[in-house]
Structure 1
Amino acid sequence: MEKPGNSWKGLVSELQLERFQVIAAELKASGRFLLRPLEAVLELVTDLLAKILGTNLVRRHFHLVLSGLVLFGPLLSFWVSKYNIFANSNHFLYRKFLRSTWGWTCILTGSFVLLLSFSARRSVPLSLRHFSRIGLTGLIWWGARRLLTLLEDAAGSCYEPMPPAQDVQSSAVAAQPPLLLLHEDLTKASCLKGNLLWRGYEVSQDVLILCLCCLLLLEEISVFSRHLSQQRSPGAPIKVLFLLCVVLLILWMFLLLCVLSNFPNWPSQQLGGALGYLGWRGLYQGWYRLKPRWCCPGLPGEELFEKEPKRL
Protein backbone atom coordinates (compact mmCIF):
# COMPACT_ATOMS: atom_id res chain seq x y z
CA MET A 1 0.00 0.00 0.00
CA GLU A 2 1.39 3.39 -1.03
CA LYS A 3 2.04 5.82 1.77
CA PRO A 4 0.23 9.21 1.74
CA GLY A 5 3.55 11.08 1.85
CA ASN A 6 4.87 9.39 -1.26
CA SER A 7 1.68 10.13 -3.21
CA TRP A 8 1.85 13.77 -2.15
CA LYS A 9 5.46 14.03 -3.33
CA GLY A 10 4.56 12.42 -6.65
CA LEU A 11 1.72 14.89 -7.19
CA VAL A 12 4.03 17.83 -6.46
CA SER A 13 6.68 16.56 -8.87
CA GLU A 14 4.06 16.12 -11.62
CA LEU A 15 2.83 19.67 -11.08
CA GLN A 16 6.37 21.00 -11.22
CA LEU A 17 7.05 19.05 -14.41
CA GLU A 18 3.91 20.45 -16.03
CA ARG A 19 4.90 23.94 -14.94
CA PHE A 20 8.37 23.54 -16.46
CA GLN A 21 6.82 22.31 -19.70
CA VAL A 22 4.55 25.35 -19.88
CA ILE A 23 7.49 27.69 -19.22
CA ALA A 24 9.58 25.93 -21.90
CA ALA A 25 6.75 26.24 -24.41
CA GLU A 26 6.40 29.96 -23.65
CA LEU A 27 10.13 30.52 -24.00
CA LYS A 28 10.17 28.61 -27.28
CA ALA A 29 7.30 30.68 -28.66
CA SER A 30 8.91 33.97 -27.58
CA GLY A 31 12.24 32.81 -29.03
CA ARG A 32 10.64 32.11 -32.38
CA PHE A 33 8.97 35.52 -32.28
CA LEU A 34 12.33 37.21 -31.64
CA LEU A 35 14.19 35.14 -34.25
CA ARG A 36 11.80 35.89 -37.09
CA PRO A 37 13.08 39.47 -37.65
CA LEU A 38 16.67 38.24 -37.47
CA GLU A 39 15.95 35.50 -40.00
CA ALA A 40 14.28 38.02 -42.31
CA VAL A 41 17.28 40.38 -42.08
CA LEU A 42 19.70 37.48 -42.62
CA GLU A 43 17.83 36.33 -45.72
CA LEU A 44 17.60 39.86 -47.14
CA VAL A 45 21.31 40.60 -46.64
CA THR A 46 22.51 37.25 -47.98
CA ASP A 47 20.29 37.49 -51.07
CA LEU A 48 21.51 41.01 -51.82
CA LEU A 49 25.20 40.20 -51.35
CA ALA A 50 24.90 36.95 -53.31
CA LYS A 51 23.35 38.77 -56.27
CA ILE A 52 26.06 41.47 -56.19
CA LEU A 53 29.00 39.08 -55.91
CA GLY A 54 27.51 36.68 -58.46
CA THR A 55 27.23 39.23 -61.27
CA ASN A 56 29.58 38.95 -64.23
CA LEU A 57 30.67 42.56 -63.69
CA VAL A 58 32.11 41.80 -60.26
CA ARG A 59 33.57 38.41 -61.17
CA ARG A 60 35.29 39.63 -64.35
CA HIS A 61 36.68 42.91 -63.03
CA PHE A 62 37.47 42.22 -59.38
CA HIS A 63 41.08 41.32 -60.21
CA LEU A 64 41.43 44.70 -61.96
CA VAL A 65 40.23 46.50 -58.82
CA LEU A 66 42.70 44.50 -56.74
CA SER A 67 45.52 45.26 -59.20
CA GLY A 68 44.76 48.99 -59.05
CA LEU A 69 44.82 48.80 -55.26
CA VAL A 70 48.25 47.16 -55.27
CA LEU A 71 49.68 49.58 -57.84
CA PHE A 72 48.35 52.86 -56.45
CA GLY A 73 47.88 51.97 -52.79
CA PRO A 74 51.44 53.02 -51.81
CA LEU A 75 50.67 56.55 -53.06
CA LEU A 76 48.36 56.96 -50.07
CA SER A 77 51.44 57.03 -47.84
CA PHE A 78 51.86 60.73 -48.75
CA TRP A 79 48.51 61.52 -47.09
CA VAL A 80 48.37 58.91 -44.32
CA SER A 81 49.73 60.06 -40.98
CA LYS A 82 52.55 58.00 -39.56
CA TYR A 83 50.98 58.37 -36.11
CA ASN A 84 47.69 56.62 -36.94
CA ILE A 85 46.86 53.37 -35.16
CA PHE A 86 47.42 51.23 -38.26
CA ALA A 87 50.96 52.54 -38.69
CA ASN A 88 51.99 50.32 -35.76
CA SER A 89 53.12 46.90 -36.97
CA ASN A 90 52.06 45.41 -33.61
CA HIS A 91 48.42 46.39 -34.10
CA PHE A 92 45.82 43.80 -33.12
CA LEU A 93 44.64 43.25 -36.72
CA TYR A 94 48.18 42.63 -37.91
CA ARG A 95 49.00 40.21 -35.09
CA LYS A 96 45.74 38.23 -35.10
CA PHE A 97 44.69 38.27 -38.76
CA LEU A 98 47.52 39.29 -41.09
CA ARG A 99 49.94 36.68 -39.72
CA SER A 100 47.33 33.92 -40.05
CA THR A 101 45.65 34.97 -43.29
CA TRP A 102 45.61 31.55 -44.86
CA GLY A 103 44.34 29.88 -41.68
CA TRP A 104 41.25 32.10 -41.47
CA THR A 105 40.61 31.75 -45.21
CA CYS A 106 40.97 27.99 -45.15
CA ILE A 107 38.64 27.49 -42.17
CA LEU A 108 35.78 29.75 -43.31
CA THR A 109 35.99 29.13 -47.06
CA GLY A 110 36.50 25.39 -46.64
CA SER A 111 33.50 25.13 -44.33
CA PHE A 112 31.36 27.09 -46.77
CA VAL A 113 32.43 24.96 -49.75
CA LEU A 114 31.77 21.70 -47.90
CA LEU A 115 28.36 22.78 -46.63
CA LEU A 116 27.28 24.25 -49.99
CA SER A 117 28.33 21.25 -52.06
CA PHE A 118 26.84 18.72 -49.65
CA SER A 119 23.53 20.58 -49.35
CA ALA A 120 23.31 20.77 -53.16
CA ARG A 121 24.00 17.12 -54.06
CA ARG A 122 24.27 15.14 -50.80
CA SER A 123 27.41 13.48 -52.12
CA VAL A 124 30.45 13.11 -49.91
CA PRO A 125 32.94 12.37 -52.76
CA LEU A 126 31.71 15.40 -54.71
CA SER A 127 31.99 17.60 -51.62
CA LEU A 128 35.52 16.41 -50.95
CA ARG A 129 36.45 17.03 -54.59
CA HIS A 130 35.30 20.65 -54.34
CA PHE A 131 37.03 21.02 -50.99
CA SER A 132 40.28 19.83 -52.60
CA ARG A 133 40.54 23.23 -54.34
CA ILE A 134 41.24 24.80 -50.94
CA GLY A 135 43.81 22.12 -50.12
CA LEU A 136 45.57 22.52 -53.46
CA THR A 137 45.75 26.30 -53.03
CA GLY A 138 47.18 25.84 -49.55
CA LEU A 139 49.78 23.41 -50.87
CA ILE A 140 50.81 25.86 -53.58
CA TRP A 141 51.03 28.68 -51.03
CA TRP A 142 53.23 26.54 -48.78
CA GLY A 143 55.56 25.71 -51.68
CA ALA A 144 55.69 29.33 -52.85
CA ARG A 145 56.54 30.54 -49.35
CA ARG A 146 59.34 28.01 -49.02
CA LEU A 147 60.72 28.89 -52.45
CA LEU A 148 60.57 32.64 -51.80
CA THR A 149 62.36 32.15 -48.47
CA LEU A 150 65.16 30.22 -50.18
CA LEU A 151 65.49 32.87 -52.89
CA GLU A 152 65.58 35.68 -50.33
CA ASP A 153 68.29 33.90 -48.33
CA ALA A 154 70.33 33.37 -51.50
CA ALA A 155 69.91 36.92 -52.85
CA GLY A 156 70.45 38.87 -49.61
CA SER A 157 73.17 39.44 -47.06
CA CYS A 158 73.26 40.13 -43.34
CA TYR A 159 75.16 43.12 -41.95
CA GLU A 160 76.08 44.26 -38.49
CA PRO A 161 76.52 48.02 -37.86
CA MET A 162 79.92 48.86 -36.47
CA PRO A 163 80.19 51.17 -33.47
CA PRO A 164 80.92 54.80 -34.39
CA ALA A 165 84.50 56.01 -34.28
CA GLN A 166 85.68 57.69 -31.08
CA ASP A 167 87.48 60.47 -32.92
CA VAL A 168 84.77 62.78 -34.21
CA GLN A 169 86.93 65.88 -34.72
CA SER A 170 86.47 65.78 -38.46
CA SER A 171 82.94 66.65 -39.51
CA ALA A 172 83.42 64.82 -42.80
CA VAL A 173 84.24 61.58 -41.00
CA ALA A 174 81.39 62.09 -38.53
CA ALA A 175 78.90 62.55 -41.36
CA GLN A 176 79.78 59.22 -42.93
CA PRO A 177 77.46 56.30 -42.15
CA PRO A 178 78.88 53.56 -39.92
CA LEU A 179 80.60 50.67 -41.64
CA LEU A 180 78.96 47.24 -41.77
CA LEU A 181 80.39 43.81 -41.10
CA LEU A 182 79.12 41.04 -43.39
CA HIS A 183 77.69 37.81 -41.95
CA GLU A 184 77.40 35.38 -44.84
CA ASP A 185 76.34 32.32 -42.84
CA LEU A 186 73.05 33.75 -41.54
CA THR A 187 69.61 33.46 -43.09
CA LYS A 188 67.13 36.33 -43.19
CA ALA A 189 65.13 34.95 -40.26
CA SER A 190 68.18 34.47 -38.02
CA CYS A 191 69.59 37.84 -39.09
CA LEU A 192 66.46 39.75 -38.14
CA LYS A 193 66.11 37.73 -34.95
CA GLY A 194 69.58 38.87 -33.94
CA ASN A 195 68.62 42.55 -34.47
CA LEU A 196 70.97 42.81 -37.46
CA LEU A 197 70.45 44.48 -40.83
CA TRP A 198 69.32 42.45 -43.86
CA ARG A 199 69.75 43.80 -47.37
CA GLY A 200 68.65 42.05 -50.52
CA TYR A 201 65.83 41.44 -52.96
CA GLU A 202 62.55 40.18 -51.51
CA VAL A 203 58.90 39.62 -52.36
CA SER A 204 56.17 40.73 -49.96
CA GLN A 205 54.55 37.51 -48.81
CA ASP A 206 51.85 39.47 -46.94
CA VAL A 207 50.64 41.14 -50.14
CA LEU A 208 50.91 37.84 -52.02
CA ILE A 209 48.70 35.86 -49.65
CA LEU A 210 46.22 38.73 -49.21
CA CYS A 211 45.70 39.05 -52.96
CA LEU A 212 45.47 35.29 -53.42
CA CYS A 213 42.94 34.91 -50.59
CA CYS A 214 40.79 37.79 -51.88
CA LEU A 215 40.60 36.26 -55.35
CA LEU A 216 39.96 32.78 -53.95
CA LEU A 217 37.18 34.02 -51.65
CA LEU A 218 35.35 35.77 -54.47
CA GLU A 219 35.58 32.72 -56.72
CA GLU A 220 34.20 30.37 -54.08
CA ILE A 221 31.39 32.49 -52.64
CA SER A 222 30.16 33.93 -55.95
CA VAL A 223 28.39 30.64 -56.78
CA PHE A 224 26.01 31.12 -53.85
CA SER A 225 23.71 33.17 -56.09
CA ARG A 226 23.34 30.15 -58.38
CA HIS A 227 22.46 28.05 -55.36
CA LEU A 228 19.69 30.49 -54.45
CA SER A 229 18.45 30.70 -58.05
CA GLN A 230 17.70 26.96 -58.02
CA GLN A 231 14.74 27.76 -55.74
CA ARG A 232 16.48 26.14 -52.82
CA SER A 233 15.99 27.22 -49.23
CA PRO A 234 19.41 27.02 -47.58
CA GLY A 235 19.47 26.95 -43.83
CA ALA A 236 20.81 29.57 -41.48
CA PRO A 237 24.27 27.94 -41.01
CA ILE A 238 25.25 28.25 -44.67
CA LYS A 239 23.93 31.83 -44.79
CA VAL A 240 25.98 32.74 -41.72
CA LEU A 241 29.07 31.15 -43.27
CA PHE A 242 28.48 33.12 -46.46
CA LEU A 243 28.27 36.38 -44.50
CA LEU A 244 31.44 35.50 -42.57
CA CYS A 245 33.26 34.89 -45.86
CA VAL A 246 32.08 38.27 -47.18
CA VAL A 247 33.24 39.97 -43.98
CA LEU A 248 36.60 38.19 -44.31
CA LEU A 249 36.93 39.39 -47.92
CA ILE A 250 36.30 42.99 -46.83
CA LEU A 251 38.78 42.59 -43.96
CA TRP A 252 41.53 41.27 -46.26
CA MET A 253 41.04 44.18 -48.66
CA PHE A 254 41.15 46.63 -45.76
CA LEU A 255 44.34 45.07 -44.38
CA LEU A 256 45.89 45.12 -47.86
CA LEU A 257 45.16 48.83 -48.12
CA CYS A 258 46.62 49.42 -44.64
CA VAL A 259 49.82 47.52 -45.46
CA LEU A 260 50.29 49.33 -48.77
CA SER A 261 49.64 52.81 -47.39
CA ASN A 262 51.42 52.54 -44.03
CA PHE A 263 54.36 50.31 -44.99
CA PRO A 264 55.09 51.05 -48.67
CA ASN A 265 57.86 48.91 -50.11
CA TRP A 266 58.16 49.19 -53.87
CA PRO A 267 58.62 46.93 -55.86
CA SER A 268 58.49 44.14 -53.27
CA GLN A 269 54.75 44.57 -52.68
CA GLN A 270 53.97 44.83 -56.38
CA LEU A 271 55.88 41.60 -57.04
CA GLY A 272 53.90 39.89 -54.29
CA GLY A 273 50.62 41.09 -55.78
CA ALA A 274 51.69 39.92 -59.25
CA LEU A 275 52.54 36.44 -57.95
CA GLY A 276 49.21 36.24 -56.13
CA TYR A 277 47.42 37.16 -59.34
CA LEU A 278 49.40 34.60 -61.35
CA GLY A 279 48.56 31.91 -58.79
CA TRP A 280 44.84 32.66 -59.09
CA ARG A 281 45.10 32.87 -62.88
CA GLY A 282 46.84 29.54 -63.16
CA LEU A 283 44.40 27.75 -60.86
CA TYR A 284 40.93 29.20 -61.49
CA GLN A 285 41.46 30.41 -65.05
CA GLY A 286 43.59 27.50 -66.18
CA TRP A 287 43.81 24.21 -64.30
CA TYR A 288 40.31 24.16 -62.79
CA ARG A 289 38.70 24.81 -66.19
CA LEU A 290 39.74 21.35 -67.39
CA LYS A 291 37.25 18.52 -67.36
CA PRO A 292 36.65 17.37 -63.75
CA ARG A 293 38.41 14.11 -62.94
CA TRP A 294 40.74 12.70 -60.30
CA CYS A 295 43.51 15.23 -61.08
CA CYS A 296 41.23 18.26 -61.54
CA PRO A 297 38.60 19.34 -58.96
CA GLY A 298 36.79 21.57 -61.45
CA LEU A 299 35.44 25.09 -61.06
CA PRO A 300 33.33 26.24 -58.09
CA GLY A 301 29.78 25.00 -58.57
CA GLU A 302 30.75 22.39 -61.16
CA GLU A 303 28.16 19.56 -61.26
CA LEU A 304 26.30 21.04 -58.28
CA PHE A 305 23.49 22.74 -60.15
CA GLU A 306 21.06 21.60 -62.81
CA LYS A 307 22.01 24.12 -65.46
CA GLU A 308 25.72 24.67 -65.92
CA PRO A 309 26.70 28.06 -67.39
CA LYS A 310 28.77 28.20 -70.52
CA ARG A 311 32.47 28.58 -69.90
CA LEU A 312 34.07 31.76 -71.09
Structure 2
Amino acid sequence: MNQSSATASGTLYVVATPIGNLNDITLRALEVLNQCDLVACEDTRHSMRLFQAHGITTKTVALHQHNEAKQSHKLIERLINGDDVALVSDAGTPLISDPGFPLLGLAHENNIKVVPIPGPSALIALLSVAAINTQPFVFHGFVPPKSKQRVAEFVSWLETTATHVYYESSHRIVASIEALIEVFGETAEVAMGRELTKTFEQIFTGTAIELLQLVESNNNHQKGEFVLAVLNKKPAVSDEIGSQPAALIAQLMPLLPPKTVAKVVADHYGLNKKQVYNFILRQATT
Protein backbone atom coordinates (compact mmCIF):
# COMPACT_ATOMS: atom_id res chain seq x y z
CA MET A 1 0.00 0.00 0.00
CA ASN A 2 1.31 3.43 -0.95
CA GLN A 3 1.02 6.27 1.53
CA SER A 4 1.86 9.97 1.25
CA SER A 5 4.51 10.47 3.94
CA ALA A 6 7.50 12.64 4.67
CA THR A 7 10.69 11.42 2.92
CA ALA A 8 14.00 12.90 1.79
CA SER A 9 12.30 13.88 -1.45
CA GLY A 10 10.42 17.09 -2.08
CA THR A 11 6.70 17.61 -1.65
CA LEU A 12 4.06 17.76 -4.35
CA TYR A 13 1.42 20.35 -3.50
CA VAL A 14 -1.95 20.18 -5.27
CA VAL A 15 -3.11 23.79 -5.14
CA ALA A 16 -6.62 25.05 -5.82
CA THR A 17 -6.73 28.43 -7.58
CA PRO A 18 -9.55 30.91 -8.32
CA ILE A 19 -12.26 29.95 -10.82
CA GLY A 20 -12.74 33.59 -11.81
CA ASN A 21 -12.19 36.26 -9.19
CA LEU A 22 -8.44 36.41 -8.56
CA ASN A 23 -9.02 37.36 -4.92
CA ASP A 24 -10.50 33.91 -4.24
CA ILE A 25 -7.16 32.39 -3.29
CA THR A 26 -6.18 31.27 0.19
CA LEU A 27 -3.27 32.65 2.19
CA ARG A 28 -1.86 29.15 2.37
CA ALA A 29 -2.00 28.76 -1.43
CA LEU A 30 -0.08 32.03 -1.86
CA GLU A 31 2.52 30.86 0.64
CA VAL A 32 3.03 27.54 -1.14
CA LEU A 33 3.17 29.04 -4.63
CA ASN A 34 5.78 31.55 -3.47
CA GLN A 35 7.98 29.09 -1.61
CA CYS A 36 7.99 26.02 -3.84
CA ASP A 37 10.74 25.49 -6.42
CA LEU A 38 8.49 24.99 -9.44
CA VAL A 39 4.83 25.30 -10.40
CA ALA A 40 3.35 22.90 -12.96
CA CYS A 41 0.53 24.74 -14.77
CA GLU A 42 -2.15 23.52 -17.14
CA ASP A 43 -1.42 26.70 -19.15
CA THR A 44 1.47 28.87 -17.99
CA ARG A 45 0.07 31.90 -19.82
CA HIS A 46 -3.24 31.60 -18.02
CA SER A 47 -1.61 31.13 -14.62
CA MET A 48 0.59 34.17 -15.19
CA ARG A 49 -2.41 36.47 -14.65
CA LEU A 50 -2.82 35.05 -11.16
CA PHE A 51 0.91 35.19 -10.49
CA GLN A 52 1.21 38.79 -11.58
CA ALA A 53 -1.83 39.81 -9.51
CA HIS A 54 -0.26 38.39 -6.35
CA GLY A 55 3.44 38.97 -7.00
CA ILE A 56 4.37 35.30 -7.45
CA THR A 57 7.70 34.89 -9.26
CA THR A 58 8.21 31.12 -8.98
CA LYS A 59 9.34 29.38 -12.17
CA THR A 60 6.60 27.59 -14.10
CA VAL A 61 6.38 24.64 -16.48
CA ALA A 62 3.45 23.44 -18.60
CA LEU A 63 1.65 20.22 -17.66
CA HIS A 64 -1.39 19.57 -19.86
CA GLN A 65 -3.21 16.67 -21.50
CA HIS A 66 -0.85 16.61 -24.48
CA ASN A 67 2.43 16.38 -22.56
CA GLU A 68 1.58 15.12 -19.09
CA ALA A 69 2.85 11.55 -19.64
CA LYS A 70 6.37 12.73 -20.47
CA GLN A 71 6.39 15.82 -18.26
CA SER A 72 5.22 13.89 -15.20
CA HIS A 73 8.37 11.74 -15.21
CA LYS A 74 10.54 14.87 -15.34
CA LEU A 75 8.68 16.38 -12.41
CA ILE A 76 9.02 13.17 -10.40
CA GLU A 77 12.79 13.30 -10.94
CA ARG A 78 12.88 16.80 -9.53
CA LEU A 79 10.74 15.79 -6.57
CA ILE A 80 12.97 12.78 -5.85
CA ASN A 81 15.97 15.13 -5.92
CA GLY A 82 14.37 17.28 -3.24
CA ASP A 83 12.51 20.03 -5.09
CA ASP A 84 9.06 21.09 -3.94
CA VAL A 85 6.55 21.25 -6.82
CA ALA A 86 3.09 22.80 -6.91
CA LEU A 87 0.42 21.61 -9.35
CA VAL A 88 -2.25 24.07 -10.50
CA SER A 89 -4.94 23.95 -13.19
CA ASP A 90 -6.35 26.87 -15.16
CA ALA A 91 -9.08 27.29 -12.56
CA GLY A 92 -10.34 25.58 -9.44
CA THR A 93 -9.10 22.37 -7.87
CA PRO A 94 -6.64 20.29 -9.95
CA LEU A 95 -7.68 16.85 -11.20
CA ILE A 96 -11.39 17.76 -11.11
CA SER A 97 -11.83 17.42 -14.90
CA ASP A 98 -8.27 18.75 -15.28
CA PRO A 99 -4.84 17.20 -16.04
CA GLY A 100 -2.60 15.74 -13.34
CA PHE A 101 -3.66 12.13 -12.80
CA PRO A 102 -0.43 10.52 -14.13
CA LEU A 103 1.70 12.84 -11.99
CA LEU A 104 -0.24 12.04 -8.81
CA GLY A 105 -0.07 8.32 -9.56
CA LEU A 106 3.70 8.43 -10.01
CA ALA A 107 4.12 10.52 -6.88
CA HIS A 108 2.32 7.95 -4.74
CA GLU A 109 4.22 5.09 -6.41
CA ASN A 110 7.51 6.78 -5.49
CA ASN A 111 6.40 7.52 -1.91
CA ILE A 112 6.56 11.25 -2.51
CA LYS A 113 4.63 13.34 -0.01
CA VAL A 114 1.48 14.78 -1.60
CA VAL A 115 -0.29 17.67 0.13
CA PRO A 116 -3.68 19.13 -0.89
CA ILE A 117 -4.09 22.91 -0.65
CA PRO A 118 -7.92 23.17 -0.82
CA GLY A 119 -9.83 26.08 -2.24
CA PRO A 120 -12.24 27.02 -5.04
CA SER A 121 -14.27 24.45 -6.97
CA ALA A 122 -16.96 25.35 -9.48
CA LEU A 123 -19.21 22.42 -8.68
CA ILE A 124 -19.12 23.09 -4.92
CA ALA A 125 -19.66 26.80 -5.53
CA LEU A 126 -22.88 26.06 -7.44
CA LEU A 127 -24.19 23.51 -4.98
CA SER A 128 -23.60 25.87 -2.07
CA VAL A 129 -26.09 28.42 -3.46
CA ALA A 130 -28.46 26.33 -5.59
CA ALA A 131 -30.94 25.29 -2.88
CA ILE A 132 -31.07 21.85 -4.47
CA ASN A 133 -30.72 18.59 -2.55
CA THR A 134 -27.03 17.64 -2.29
CA GLN A 135 -27.36 14.46 -0.25
CA PRO A 136 -26.26 12.65 -2.23
CA PHE A 137 -24.81 14.31 -5.31
CA VAL A 138 -22.79 12.78 -8.14
CA PHE A 139 -20.26 14.71 -10.22
CA HIS A 140 -19.81 13.63 -13.85
CA GLY A 141 -17.30 16.16 -15.22
CA PHE A 142 -17.90 16.99 -18.89
CA VAL A 143 -20.60 14.96 -20.62
CA PRO A 144 -20.15 13.57 -24.18
CA PRO A 145 -20.26 16.27 -26.88
CA LYS A 146 -22.30 14.26 -29.40
CA SER A 147 -26.08 14.25 -29.08
CA LYS A 148 -26.75 10.49 -29.01
CA GLN A 149 -23.99 9.76 -26.51
CA ARG A 150 -25.06 12.70 -24.35
CA VAL A 151 -28.65 11.42 -24.14
CA ALA A 152 -27.37 7.93 -23.32
CA GLU A 153 -25.24 9.43 -20.53
CA PHE A 154 -28.24 11.26 -19.07
CA VAL A 155 -30.34 8.09 -19.32
CA SER A 156 -27.75 6.23 -17.23
CA TRP A 157 -28.23 8.80 -14.45
CA LEU A 158 -31.87 7.75 -14.08
CA GLU A 159 -30.68 4.68 -12.19
CA THR A 160 -29.29 6.82 -9.33
CA THR A 161 -31.54 8.91 -7.11
CA ALA A 162 -29.29 11.94 -6.53
CA THR A 163 -28.43 15.40 -7.75
CA HIS A 164 -26.27 14.98 -10.84
CA VAL A 165 -23.73 17.73 -11.53
CA TYR A 166 -21.72 18.31 -14.69
CA TYR A 167 -19.75 20.90 -16.64
CA GLU A 168 -20.81 22.20 -20.05
CA SER A 169 -19.35 24.50 -22.70
CA SER A 170 -20.97 27.58 -24.19
CA HIS A 171 -21.47 26.17 -27.70
CA ARG A 172 -23.33 23.09 -26.39
CA ILE A 173 -25.35 24.57 -23.55
CA VAL A 174 -28.70 24.79 -25.40
CA ALA A 175 -28.45 21.26 -26.80
CA SER A 176 -27.43 20.01 -23.37
CA ILE A 177 -30.49 21.49 -21.65
CA GLU A 178 -32.73 20.14 -24.42
CA ALA A 179 -31.29 16.68 -23.76
CA LEU A 180 -31.95 17.08 -20.04
CA ILE A 181 -35.58 17.84 -20.82
CA GLU A 182 -35.81 14.85 -23.15
CA VAL A 183 -34.64 12.48 -20.41
CA PHE A 184 -35.74 14.07 -17.11
CA GLY A 185 -38.77 16.04 -18.31
CA GLU A 186 -39.67 19.72 -18.46
CA THR A 187 -40.43 19.99 -14.75
CA ALA A 188 -37.14 18.48 -13.55
CA GLU A 189 -35.53 20.54 -10.77
CA VAL A 190 -32.29 22.06 -12.05
CA ALA A 191 -29.65 24.62 -11.15
CA MET A 192 -27.12 26.42 -13.31
CA GLY A 193 -24.05 28.48 -12.56
CA ARG A 194 -22.59 30.56 -15.39
CA GLU A 195 -19.30 32.46 -15.12
CA LEU A 196 -19.19 31.82 -11.37
CA THR A 197 -17.28 34.49 -9.36
CA LYS A 198 -16.74 36.56 -12.51
CA THR A 199 -18.20 39.93 -13.51
CA PHE A 200 -21.20 38.46 -15.34
CA GLU A 201 -21.93 35.67 -12.87
CA GLN A 202 -25.39 34.15 -13.29
CA ILE A 203 -27.11 31.64 -11.00
CA PHE A 204 -30.42 29.97 -11.85
CA THR A 205 -32.68 27.58 -9.96
CA GLY A 206 -36.00 26.30 -11.26
CA THR A 207 -37.34 23.79 -13.78
CA ALA A 208 -35.54 22.51 -16.86
CA ILE A 209 -37.96 24.20 -19.27
CA GLU A 210 -37.57 27.53 -17.44
CA LEU A 211 -33.80 27.23 -17.76
CA LEU A 212 -34.05 26.54 -21.48
CA GLN A 213 -36.29 29.56 -21.95
CA LEU A 214 -33.84 31.74 -20.02
CA VAL A 215 -30.80 30.62 -21.98
CA GLU A 216 -32.56 30.96 -25.34
CA SER A 217 -33.93 34.41 -24.48
CA ASN A 218 -30.53 36.12 -24.70
CA ASN A 219 -27.37 35.08 -26.53
CA ASN A 220 -25.33 36.48 -23.65
CA HIS A 221 -26.81 33.75 -21.45
CA GLN A 222 -25.07 31.21 -23.71
CA LYS A 223 -21.58 32.60 -23.17
CA GLY A 224 -19.00 31.54 -20.63
CA GLU A 225 -18.39 28.44 -18.52
CA PHE A 226 -21.31 26.45 -17.11
CA VAL A 227 -21.99 24.14 -14.20
CA LEU A 228 -25.36 22.39 -14.21
CA ALA A 229 -27.18 20.24 -11.68
CA VAL A 230 -30.31 18.15 -12.14
CA LEU A 231 -32.21 16.41 -9.35
CA ASN A 232 -33.28 12.85 -10.11
CA LYS A 233 -35.79 11.98 -7.41
CA LYS A 234 -37.97 8.94 -7.10
CA PRO A 235 -41.65 9.94 -7.08
CA ALA A 236 -44.36 8.26 -5.06
CA VAL A 237 -45.19 4.70 -6.04
CA SER A 238 -47.82 4.42 -8.78
CA ASP A 239 -49.95 1.44 -9.83
CA GLU A 240 -50.37 2.56 -13.44
CA ILE A 241 -48.10 2.86 -16.48
CA GLY A 242 -48.78 6.47 -17.40
CA SER A 243 -47.96 8.45 -20.52
CA GLN A 244 -44.59 9.71 -19.23
CA PRO A 245 -43.22 6.25 -18.32
CA ALA A 246 -44.49 4.93 -21.65
CA ALA A 247 -42.72 7.77 -23.48
CA LEU A 248 -39.47 7.07 -21.63
CA ILE A 249 -39.78 3.37 -22.46
CA ALA A 250 -40.09 4.25 -26.13
CA GLN A 251 -36.94 6.39 -25.93
CA LEU A 252 -34.89 3.77 -24.09
CA MET A 253 -35.83 0.64 -26.03
CA PRO A 254 -33.49 1.34 -28.98
CA LEU A 255 -30.63 1.95 -26.53
CA LEU A 256 -30.96 -0.72 -23.82
CA PRO A 257 -32.15 -4.33 -23.28
CA PRO A 258 -35.78 -4.67 -22.15
CA LYS A 259 -34.90 -5.78 -18.60
CA THR A 260 -32.61 -2.80 -18.15
CA VAL A 261 -35.29 -0.46 -19.50
CA ALA A 262 -37.80 -1.96 -17.06
CA LYS A 263 -35.46 -1.38 -14.12
CA VAL A 264 -34.61 2.20 -15.09
CA VAL A 265 -38.23 3.21 -15.70
CA ALA A 266 -39.50 1.43 -12.60
CA ASP A 267 -36.90 3.03 -10.37
CA HIS A 268 -37.41 6.48 -11.86
CA TYR A 269 -41.20 6.52 -11.64
CA GLY A 270 -41.70 4.35 -8.57
CA LEU A 271 -43.33 1.51 -10.50
CA ASN A 272 -43.21 -2.23 -10.11
CA LYS A 273 -40.40 -3.55 -12.31
CA LYS A 274 -42.31 -6.69 -13.32
CA GLN A 275 -45.32 -4.55 -14.25
CA VAL A 276 -43.14 -2.34 -16.45
CA TYR A 277 -41.42 -5.35 -18.01
CA ASN A 278 -44.78 -6.93 -18.86
CA PHE A 279 -45.87 -3.64 -20.42
CA ILE A 280 -42.72 -3.70 -22.59
CA LEU A 281 -43.43 -7.26 -23.67
CA ARG A 282 -47.01 -6.35 -24.59
CA GLN A 283 -45.76 -3.43 -26.66
CA ALA A 284 -43.36 -5.71 -28.50
CA THR A 285 -46.16 -8.08 -29.52
CA THR A 286 -48.67 -5.48 -30.66
Q: TM-score, normalised by structure 2?
A: 0.19
Q: Which has the higher contact order (CA 8 A, sep 6+)?
A: 1
Q: Of the two, which has the highest radius of gyration?
A: 1
**More helix per residue: 1 or 2?**
1
